[in-house]
Structure 1
Amino acid sequence: MRKLLTGALLFMAGITLCSQTAFAKEDKAGTARILNKSDSGNPMLGFDEKGDILYGGDPSILVDGDTVYCYVGHDTSAAEYYHMPDWRCYSSKDMKNWKYESMILKADRSNITWANDDTSAWAGQVAKGSDGNYYFYYCTEANRANGGGKSIGVAVSKDGPTGPFKDIGKPLVRNIDTPNGPHTWEDIDPTIWIEKDENGVEHRYLGWGNTRFFVCELNEDMISVKDQDGNPGGLSVGEGKGHDIVVGKINGFEGHTFTEAPYYYRQQDENGNFYGKYYMFFACDWREQMAYAVTDDIMSNEWDFGGVLMEPSATANTNHMAVFDFKGQTYFVYHDGSLPHGSGFRRVACVEKIEIKEDGTIDPIKKTATGLTGTASKITDYDGNYLANESFTNTLNDSDYPIVGKNLLSDFYQDGARTEWEINPGKADTGKESYVSIESNDKPGLYLAAGDLASGSIPLVLSQDVRGSQDEAERMTFKTLDGFAGSGVTFESVKYPGYYLVSKNGKLSMVQNPEDKEATFYVSTDVVAKSGNALKTKRLYTVGEKLDTEDIRIQLYLENGKAERIEEYTTNAKKIDMDKAGEKTLKVTYKYQGKEYEDSIKITVVESDYRGK
């Protein structure tokens, strides 16, 4: 529970402060202003059956009928190491609203008899077999009797995609079954792909790997590896077809290293038929980036590098994706550490839409805080300068993390992703409507935060919620008040009541007794449009002429003096009778930050001989 200081003295950075009650001057107290909040978006999961935080990484997806199921390994570590006791399942019918379903399997030795410990619920993926059963391919640590090290297992559910799943009692692939074994890490992160060939024969491809990557084909029973070379001694390993397990390579992959997390995908047409090349998405380098490669023959395990798709996370050292189609849209699910106290060992699933171009290539994918359902806001000061984070790159260098104390600025000429923010319920107390926390849409998981008091002001910085502490929550929470300049909004620090966010000379900080205009900001999702001017070049038509709407231009003027160009709009043009002369009303409808606006443009239709009169 948040502690309030009442009359006590707080000594910080060598400066004695008055009590929190004394911070706020009576003439600056202001009236609470409630901003519109974006309480959805990324992360898409991260909760248990009670709605409490549940960390879970390595997301995988099963689409079964009209439902998407997402599976994660449950992260429970309080420190910086893996501690995963089980796997969890969620479901959605629209990719917007997610329901917690169940624990599908515990990673303990009573459920997995060949396991070496009870806390290695590493990555897994579920597939539906032609027999109607569900098969969960996963990784855990094997005991000595089964070769030790990470190995691939399989569990079966006859009850449905939410389990419970029952392990078959032995590893499907041991680490001693792949080259140069035994080894510790190579046999992890299984991915499964099932399809019928042109002759109607079903193939079940299982891929996995760390440092190197492998593929094999499964038998019809889904729980054993297909013998493709008649080797009576068990599994064999080699390059190319005719072998049980095939070692892979990626052409054109110079300058990168394959790390882990292969995930198979292929495009589908409107009838659900697969076509085109096979895709393997995977994690490369360290810290992990997301990349992809393509092939014409998944069992050859020879791939052509497509490119890096996603930079390292700002909040986690690893990443793991799932790529799939649902209701005609392709999605890219991944994990980061954007929850409070998040990291590469306390992860959460996020999602973005992606498009595959006609030539099969994929453009880089941008992580966002808003995801599919959130709302991005822009924040400007009284003079129209955008609040933005200074540009920086999420590097591959572990020593650059966690990201805390990054600089911010206010600049009229800033634009793009660095000026986008998600206004969330306040971390210090999500029940208080006047409390907000402001997350970077460009660097999800990083928030505006009050630094330490020094020289009479408090720096405003961009930081990760590293420890998940109440102190961090208060630093990242602001009370929203009616703007001191008579419009807009003013932000008061919850950590330091009586200190207000100000923009001055391109710098952002928090001070007592600010100038009214310096402490007044405008949030795009909160401001009201003064007028929406829809202009049209041609407004005089002759009877029977087609009404063209391509020449409409919309400039939305906001109360903070900014003008926004609107590119997408709809009209009632199809309902206007152009076969009769007279004055017509063309209605133009468009949206800005979730609000709908409508303008009217007068159109005059005249007889064909009008100009001759």
Structure 2
Amino acid sequence: MIALRLSACLLALIATQPAFAQGDAPGSNPIIRDVFTADPAALVVGDRVYLYAGRDISNDKYYNMPDWLAYSSTDMKTWTAHGTVLKPTDFKWARSDAYASQVVEKDGKFYFYATAKHNKPDTAMAIGVAVSDSPTGPFVDARGTALITNDMTPQARHDWSDIDPTVFTDDDGTSWMMWGNEKAFLVKLKPNMIELDGPIREVQLPHYTEGPWLHKRGDIYYVTYASWDKGDVGEYISYATAPSVEGPWTYRGKLTGMAENSTTIHPAIIEFKGQSYFFYHDGGLTIGDQKGGSYRRAVRVEYLEYNPDGTIKPIVQTKAGVSVPPN
């Protein structure tokens, strides 16, 4: 009982305290410092940005991610914590592992697409969707079953192939989802956002590993994703562009180098108040006696700038983050 009370107090503390540490200017990296966070996803709603991230509590030997946290900001510098907004066990079909997610808004509702481990007998990773009337929840299972299961992508041939969903709604109102580890998959969603509308197709992306993020600027479609080439010791971010979300995709090269002290890196891109931003994670944060690493990560953010031809300028990972004006 004491342990439960302490846990409740800790969650309340996380939900009410500012998410940046004293001693650095607000907006400096990492932006969340009181808890380890990974796999950032961001959503702009009016004059506020909402940030969603999985919580890392690993002993440094394997991933241990019990829930998804939410934060919000009106200036990209000071972040308000909203605590846990969804857990894998909130899905009727899932049992653990709060891997990468994304929240999108459509017709006044907020849809939380998330990766989690399926209940037995299917113990592979799967993708589900929860829904809420608010960007901070409460989110509830929208289907009662997973949206994507391992048997739907047999060409991937491993239990963690169906991870890291990104959802994008085009100008005509059509919504698409891309996801996958080692192979990238794309499918159209029905207008209700909780059913597939057509076949799943594989997307050919050079150097693709995982963590795709779809966005559009002007007439150009972008997919940004983690790459891990043979001989590398960790992931870096690549990107490609296309005239349509269905392709054809043109590889544009590396966007970042590898993350500090982490074998993984995960992108999210938004435009907010006329400025574009790039979220990612690394393993450079230490909390108390717990050092960061590949299984205890920290969310960071940098300014993102485009060239006149629509390509993206390479992103340098900085300590200053957005605490200073963009170049």
Distance 1:345 1:329 in 2: 31
Q: What is the 5 A alignment of 1:176-325?
A: 176-180=151-155, 183-197=158-172, 202-227=173-198, 244-250=199-205, 253=206, 257-267=207-217, 275-285=218-228, 286=232, 287-300=234-247, 302-325=248-271
1:170 aligns with 2:145: yes
Aligned pair partner of 2:117 in 120, 138, 141: 141
> How far has the Cα of 1:80 moved from its partner?
2.5
> How far has the Cα of 1:374 moved from its partner?
5.8
> How far has the Cα of 1:309 moved from its partner?
1.1
Distance 2:259 2:60 in 1: 19
> How far has the Cα of 1:358 moved from its partner?
1.3
Partner of residue 20, structure 2 = none
Aligned residue identity for 1:292: Y
Q: Please say if residues 216 and 299 of structure 1, whose CA atoms lie closer than 8 Å, have aligned partners that are also in contact.
A: no
| Secondary structure in 2 matching 1:210 | coil
Partner of residue 363, structure 1 = 313
Aligned residue identity for 1:345: Y
> How far has the Cα of 1:299 moved from its partner?
2.3
Aligned residue identity for 2:294: G
| Secondary structure in 1 matching 2:85 | strand
TM-score by length of 2: 0.86
Q: Please say if residues 246 and 299 of structure 1, whose CA atoms lie closer than 8 Å, have aligned partners that are also in contact.
A: no
* 1:545-590 residue CA offsets vs partner (Å, 9 max, x unmatched): xxxxxxxxxxxxxxxxxxxxxxx9xxxxxxxxxxxxxxxxxxxxxx
Aligned residue identity for 1:42: N
| Secondary structure in 1 matching 2:270 | strand
In structure 2, relative to structure 1, the CA distance for the partners of 1:185 and 1:121 (3 Å cut) is same
Aligned residue identity for 1:74: R
Q: Please say if residues 176 and 183 of structure 1, whose CA atoms lie closer than 8 Å, have aligned partners that are also in contact.
A: no
> How far has the Cα of 1:157 moved from its partner?
0.9
Distance 2:155 2:298 in 1: 34
| Secondary structure in 2 matching 1:176 | helix
Q: Please say if residues 38 and 374 of structure 1, whose CA atoms lie closer than 8 Å, have aligned partners that are also in contact.
A: no
> How far has the Cα of 1:148 moved from its partner?
3.1
In structure 2, relative to structure 1, the CA distance for the partners of 1:184 and 1:38 (3 Å cut) is same
| Secondary structure in 1 matching 2:209 | strand
Distance 1:193 1:181 in 2: 23
> How far has the Cα of 1:354 moved from its partner?
1.3
Partner of residue 126, structure 1 = 103
Q: What is the 5 A alignment of 1:442-521?
A: none
Q: What is the 5 A alignment of 1:580-599?
A: none
Q: Please say if residues 279 and 294 of structure 1, whose CA atoms lie closer than 8 Å, have aligned partners that are also in contact.
A: yes
Q: Which of 1 and 2 has greater Rg?
A: 1
Give the ranges of 4+ consecutive aligned residues of structure 1 lying more than 4 Å apart after TM superposition: none
Distance 2:155 2:304 in 1: 38
> How far has the Cα of 1:330 moved from its partner?
0.6
Distance 2:51 2:156 in 1: 32
Distance 2:31 2:260 in 1: 17
Aligned residue identity for 2:187: C
- Identity of aligned pairs, percent? 38
Distance 1:344 1:70 in 2: 20
Distance 1:369 1:43 in 2: 7
| Secondary structure in 1 matching 2:148 | coil
Distance 2:299 2:25 in 1: 16
Q: Please say if residues 226 and 235 of structure 2, whose CA atoms lie closer than 8 Å, have aligned partners that are also in contact.
A: yes
Distance 1:178 1:38 in 2: 46
Distance 2:262 2:67 in 1: 20
Q: Please say if residues 101 and 162 of structure 1, whose CA atoms lie closer than 8 Å, have aligned partners that are also in contact.
A: yes
Distance 2:30 2:87 in 1: 24
Distance 1:298 1:148 in 2: 31
* 1:300-348 residue CA offsets vs partner (Å, 9 max, x unmatched): 4x31101101111122110001011000101001101121111111111
Partner of residue 40, structure 2 = 59
Distance 2:197 2:145 in 1: 16
Aligned pair partner of 2:60 in 56, 79, 96: 79
> How far has the Cα of 1:106 moved from its partner?
1.4
In structure 2, relative to structure 1, the CA distance for the partners of 1:144 and 1:365 (3 Å cut) is same
Q: Please say if residues 60 and 296 of structure 2, whose CA atoms lie closer than 8 Å, have aligned partners that are also in contact.
A: no
Aligned pair partner of 2:29 in 39, 42, 53: 42
* 1:389-422 residue CA offsets vs partner (Å, 9 max, x unmatched): xxxxxxxxxxxxxxxxxxxxxxxxxxxxxxxxxx
| Secondary structure in 2 matching 1:96 | coil
Distance 2:256 2:183 in 1: 21
TM-score by length of 1: 0.47
Which structure has more RCO (C-alpha within 8 Å, separation ≥ 6)? 2
Kindly tell me the number of residue pairs found equivalent between the two proteins. Answer: 295
> How far has the Cα of 1:152 moved from its partner?
0.9
Partner of residue 333, structure 1 = 279
Aligned residue identity for 2:103: V
Distance 2:324 2:297 in 1: 20
Partner of residue 433, structure 1 = none
Q: Please say if residues 85 and 121 of structure 1, whose CA atoms lie closer than 8 Å, have aligned partners that are also in contact.
A: yes
Q: Please say if residues 187 and 210 of structure 1, whose CA atoms lie closer than 8 Å, have aligned partners that are also in contact.
A: yes
1:351 aligns with 2:297: no
Aligned residue identity for 2:36: Y
| Secondary structure in 1 matching 2:263 | coil
1:97 aligns with 2:78: yes
